[in-house]
Chains A and B, each alone.
Chain A
Amino acid sequence: MAEPITISQRQWQLPELPIADDPIPFVDRQTMLAADRIATDRIGISLLQMMENAGLQLAELSRLTLGGVAGRSIVILAGTGNNAGGGMVAARRLAGWGADVCVIFARPLLRLRPGPCAQVEPMLAAGVRAAVAGHDLPHAEIAGEVMRADAVIDALIGYSLEGPPDATYGPLIGLAGLGSGPVISLDIPSGIDASSGKRPGSAVHADATLALALPKSGMSLAEGRRFSGVGFLADIGLPVSIFTELGIPAGAWFAHGPLVRLG
């Protein structure tokens, strides 16, 4: 008699987070850029503050999804911009909570923008493993890391990308979905246009996307809809007045907490 086939139980589940009572508007790239400018140039909320908040909520969503991270392995794919900075903060926090975290960079470290660059040292001090794809770790070994991982976080490219991703991102985008764990994209799946939802080249197919401040319209349009998976939204501390100034109706989007599920 044949052995019964046991299907291993999925080791993760996206959390049942509250949905905001007020409708959450979706914004395009230009609006988000303007909001970020008002925050940093006028109000004086520094990039590092926003990055810290984004990374903490990303770590928290990952923790909730895995039902605890102690002893679990998490791979974070990082580009060179602020999205990568959020990913590195998440790496530091997750390592602090007992996870085995490996950050794979798409480019050499000196290509990082100053904000994310400032995250490298604290991240390494927290015991996070790090390697630059192709230089410090061959792609075959990265594939192994991803396949063994309990979760993969996509912090390659943020909302500012227009057009297809740079060729150096291609291999990592291709590897992101190799594992059996969840793929969580930060802000917008890498390769998806934040405004139009179009996919001009390869893109990360996420199980969940954690949008920052307000979700980008690309999450609900064209291919972005399918590639984003389940949408979540994180409060990164931007006052609502920034958005009302930009003509967006205000709402108590985070009345239930700093992490909400998009309806």
Chain B
Amino acid sequence: MGAMLKRFLERQSGPDMEPPSGPPLTEEELKVGLLREVDLFAGLSPAELKEISRTLPMQTCQVGGLVTSPDDDDERLYVIKRGRVRLYRLTPDGKQLTLEIMDKGRIVGRMAWLGQQLTDAYAEAIEDALICSFTPRELQRLIDRFPSVGVNIIRYLSGRLAASEREREVMAFRSVEQRLAARLLELSERFGQPTEGGTAIDARLTQQELADMIGTSRETLATTVASLRERRVLDMHNQRVVILDLPRVRELAGG
């Protein structure tokens, strides 16, 4: 444990852990890796949560105390059980810049394999806080004991992956429409059947599968398909895609 932390934290016996609750993470939270207790411990019974709370050390951090700082050299996550914590970084001129205000149920700290990498961030208690923490090894033990914690982590990480894909999409130079056109062109060469009005692709693909293939969300795919349908470029019904305007699809795919 880092030196700063030692200075500010004093150990205290932990009260019973309450079942985690809270709204689902927003896309922004997912992108920056703001983990919540509910993401880790969802679906566990009160008895199981109690058991976890007995194994994880519980600490208090007084107002102004640092929960974690870039000086901490170990990997550790901190679950805020009570109170509020301000996450901040330093600007080049040494001033504090607030990143987030976190309250009960939020998790701060560093753990590479959970994608928690706010390495330059300080976390300071702005209300007396009660905090429990765990290391990667302790988390590993929790997963061994409660496999659903492992499943929750997979769910959380895939949420982050999807969010970062959507982000890349917004920033990407090649649009969803272009990627879709390229993939459909490829599929039409393999599965295409000439049909009335165009080329039918009987690949039995759901919108979700198609979205996954081009690395986008189902929602974005649906919007893109609707726009192409409106422009009579293609049609999609019952997992069957019909390319109505092949030259236009070629043009899009090549763009």
Contacts and interface: CB of A to CB of B under 8 A. Distances in A.
A complexed with B:
yes
A135 B227 CA distance: 44
Interface residues of B, number: 33
Given A44-B255, A111-B28, A130 B34 contact: no
Contacts of A37: 223
B28 A136 contact: no
| Most chain A beta carbons < 10 A, residue from B28, B97, B220, B255 | B97
B28 A130 contact: no
| Interface majority SS (helix, strand, loop, mixed), chain A | helix
Contact of B96 (A43, A47, A136): A136
A110 B97 contact: no
| Most chain B beta carbons < 10 A, residue from A41, A109, A125, A130 | A41
A192 to B, nearest CB: 25
A108 B167 contact: no
Nearest to A40: B170
A136 B97 contact: yes
Contact of B97 (A42, A111, A113, A130): A130
Contacts, number: 79
Given A47-B170, A114-B31, A124-B91, A109 B177 contact: no
Interface residues of A, number: 27
Given A115-B170, A124-B92, A125-B92, A109 B99 contact: yes
B99 A129 contact: no
B196 interface: no
Interface string A125-162: 10101111001100000000000000000000000000
B93 interface: yes
Nearest to A128: B91
Nearest to B177: A42
A114 B100 contact: no
A129 B100 contact: no
Interface in A13-43: 37, 40-43
A46 interface: yes
Interface in B147-176: 167, 170-176
A132 B91 CA distance: 12
B171 A46 contact: yes
A127 B95 CA distance: 12
B163 to A, nearest CB: 9
A193 B5 CA distance: 48
Contacts of A136: 88, 95-98
Nearest to A111: B28
Given A110-B32, A110-B100, A131 B95 contact: yes
A250 interface: no
B97 A131 contact: yes
Contacts of B170: 40, 46-47, 114-115
A44 B87 CA distance: 35
Contacts of A64: none
The 4 lowest CB-CB distance pairs between A and B, nearest first, are A135-B98, A132-B98, A44-B175, A110-B100
19 contacts: A40-B175, A41-B223, A42-B177, A42-B227, A108-B87, A108-B98, A108-B101, A109-B97, A109-B98, A109-B99, A109-B100, A110-B87, A110-B100, A112-B28, A125-B92, A131-B97, A135-B86, A135-B98, A135-B101
Interface of A: 37, 40-44, 46-48, 108-115, 118, 124-125, 127, 129-132, 135-136
